[in-house]
Every structure is written in C-alpha cells, then in structure tokens.
Chains A and B, each alone.
Chain A
Amino acid sequence: MPLPIGDILGILTDNIRLRGSVLPLPKRLISAWADGLGIKEGGETIIYTGHMYQLIPSIKIMAEKMAGLENSILTRYFWMGRIANKAVNLITFMGSPSPEEQARYNNYLRNIAMLLKEAEVDFGCLFERELYTGALIFDQGIDHVFEMHARKVYRLLKENKVRRVITVDPHTTNMLRTIYPKFIKGYDLEVASYLEVLCEQDTDARNPLDADLVIHDSCVYARHEGVTKEPRLLLKKTGARLHEPELSERLTHCCGGPIESLFPGKAHEIARKRLGQLAECGNKITTMCPICLVNLQGAAAKADVDLKVTDISEYLAKAYCAHV
C-alpha cells in the first residue's frame, strides 16, 4: 500500500499547529551551529536559517523510515500515529542523528556565517527563538494553517525590530521574500539570500580553488527567486572550473526532494536521474539547497561511481575565509 497522504499531511500540520515546525527539534539543536562564532543577539539585520540545514539529519532518518514503510501493511495504521502524535511528538521516537551527522550540517551554517563576517556584513541572529517558515505545508496547500504560522514568524521578526533578513537556503528565501507578502498585508522586510549578499559585497577570494565543479541549481532559487548568476560569480572568483549540465539555471531539473515525505520511491528515482545528468559533467557536484544536497547525496551513495556532492558553502568558505 502507498503511504497514506491524508495521515502524513495531518501529522505535519498538527506539528506546525502544536509545536511550531513540521519536524520539531529540541531548541538547543536549532542554535548549536552558532556556538563560538560571536554572533550578536538580534539587530536590524539578521541571518535566518529557517531550521532547514538543522533539520536535514532528522529528515534523512524520517525518509529512511518512510521508504521502509512504503508499500508495507503498516501504512494501514498511520491514522493511529496521527492520534498519538497529538499527545506525544513522534519524531523523538524515530531515532536521533549522530552528533557527527548533526555537526556536518551545522558546519554549512557556520561556513555561511563566517563568509558573511569575512565580507564585513554586520548581522545578528535570533538563535533559539527562530522559527521554521512553514514551506512544506504551503506546498501542500494547507493555507489556513500556513497563514497563521507565517503571521507568527512575521510577528517575531517585527517584535525584534528586524528590517533585513539574510537567508541561507532557497526555501526560506522564497517563503520570506515572495510568499509571505502574499499572505500578510503591509509586509515590509527586506530579504536576500547570503549568495546575493556576498555578491553585493564584492569581496575577493583569498585562497584559490583548484577544482572542477559541476553546478546543480535549486528549482526554487532558479525559477522562483531568479538566483542563478550569484553562485556562479562567487565560484568563478575562486578560480574553480565550472561545468554545467544540459539542464541548468532556469531549466534546472528537480532533485526529487519535494515529494520525499509522501512518495520516497519516486523521489529517489528523480534524484537518481538528476545525479546521472550531473555525473556526465564531472564527479564533484555542488548544491545550494539542503534538500537538494541530501537527496543527491543519497543517490550518490547508491551510485556505481565515486561522486562527491557538497554544499556550495563548503567551497566558498575554503576560498574566501582566512580560517576554516
């Protein structure tokens, strides 16, 4: 039996309503990435993670469980899970990611913060008070719950006198820059991706990269937000040689991630197909979205050839930061 769409969406929606996120994480996990970086609390300009990178290790665990359940008889009992989840956060019973795994994804956020510091951008952070943006339930059309949540996020930002938000991933950028204004009258925050901010700052790379990199564009950055030239410009300044798959920039091919929670089998098939297109151009692939990263890494782990899929921040930090 396929996974029950209604029950899964119900659990995700209940989590947003009751716990503020589709996959509620302990507060400490949300802000652990910033430890020791000396980022100030609040301010007019803040970096906003939207929990996306921090969520990836848990998303990986959940996706593995869901893939195991897909087409099993246990799907019949999901409705019981939804009822139980209202009282107890079931995510905590799915298993915790290893500290090394969590640190790996936190490190991408540390890279981004260090890049902004290196480019002399003055920014703060809301740390544990930060909220997930609600991107997943927006995609699923659960607009009344999404709107309520979006207002809560906006209220948080306004109460903290935030005027400019620097985002770290395409989904959070899309929500805060393009979608929220459609739901909230008078929305007045300035939102930019860190890739756009780094381009504006026009800093030069300190350490040249001798690498051949294949670029995978995120659908959301490329087609929803028009962010395509910035990652290329930043990587080119490092000296890296960039290779483009046939489907790139506005014609980029999806990684399969958006349907991972409902149709894991189909999602893996799309990721495998995309990875094949990228692998034709080289074996070092760089992504700019945590969802693309985890899906393509998953496909690469099953591939016959040695492929390395890495977040763009890793390369940028090596090239632009003095100490990484």
Chain B
Amino acid sequence: MQRLDIKFSKEIGSYDKFNAAQCFNCGTCTALCPMGINILPRILFRYVLMGMKDKLMENKDAIYSCLLCRMCEDNCPEGVRIAENIRVLRRYIGRHVYGL
C-alpha cells in the first residue's frame, strides 16, 4: 500500500523551477542516461507528482547519482528542466533528511 503525501508534492511543486509535470513519459531521458539507471529521471518525477514521498526516499542514491550532465535535458522533446528538477529534489532531501 502506497501512502500519498500531497503536502510533499505541493512543496516540491512550489519551487518555480520544478517543471516535471511537462514530462509525457517518452523515455528519451532514460535511454540516453549514461548512468543507465532506469528510474532516472522520469519515474522519480512521477513519484513526486503523485505524492509518493516514501518511494522517492527509497531512491535517494539514484537522485544523488545523477551526473547533471544534461544529456537527457538537451534531448527532451518537452523541454523539461531535468537537471534543475533533480537539484530541487536534492534541495528537499538535503533540508528535510540530512538537515543541511
């Protein structure tokens, strides 16, 4: 059973740079990712949009594994600011999990 945390979703969505809702899940990013981690980045973004905070937290390693190389972003047909969105997730985790 997944618990949905709307407050979490709203908080991340409130960062003006976070535009993951534009993603239409084509998979270009996943195919191009040098890290070859399937969850990067589109599945992570789905977790956020749906408020699945626990699932996102289970995948902290993937979030911090992103190289921010923008190979995905440069080829995203929807203009999703993928690197900035990943940074927003790191900002959230840094603040709420690591107390930075």
Bound pair (A, B): yes
Interface residues of A (CB under 8 A from B): 2, 5-6, 9-10, 13, 138-143, 145, 219, 223-224, 250-251, 253-254, 256, 258-259, 262-263, 266, 270, 273
Cβ of B46 under 8 Å from chain A: no
Q: Report the minimum CB–CB distance from B69 to chain A (whole Å).
A: 4
B64 touches A262 (CB 8 A): yes
Nearest 7 Cβ contacts at the A-B interface: A141-B90, A6-B98, A141-B91, A254-B69, A219-B69, A223-B70, A141-B87
Set B65, B68, B100: member contacting A139, Cβ < 8 A: B68
Give which listed residue, B70, B88, B89, B97, contacts A219 with CB less than 8 A. Answer: B70
User: Residues 34-74 of chain B: 1 if any A CB is under 8 Å from the residue's CB, otherwise 0?
Assistant: 11000000000000000000000000110011111111011
Distance (Å) between the CB of A54 and the closest chain B CB?
A: 23
B64 touches A266 (CB 8 A): no
Once A9-B100, A223-B74 are accepted as A-B contacts, the answer to whether A258 and B69 lie under 8 Å apart by CB is yes
Interface SS majority for chain A: helix
For chain B, give the interface size range.
20 to 34
- Interface membership of B79, Cβ < 8 A: no
What is the CA–CA distance of A80 and B89 in the complex, to the nearest angstrom? 26
Please name all residues of chain A whose beta carbon is closer than 8 Å to the beta carbon of B87 when the two chains form the complex.
Answer: 138-139, 141
Q: A9-B94, A253-B34, A266-B35 are in contact. Are A259 and B64 (CB under 8 A)?
A: yes
Nearest CB on B from A322, distance (A): 38
Q: Is the CB of B94 within 8 A of A142?
A: yes
A223 to chain B: which residues have CB within 8 Å?
69-71, 73-74
Known: A6-B97, A141-B92, A253-B69. 8 other contacts (CB 8 A): A5-B61, A10-B98, A142-B100, A219-B69, A254-B34, A259-B65, A259-B66, A262-B65
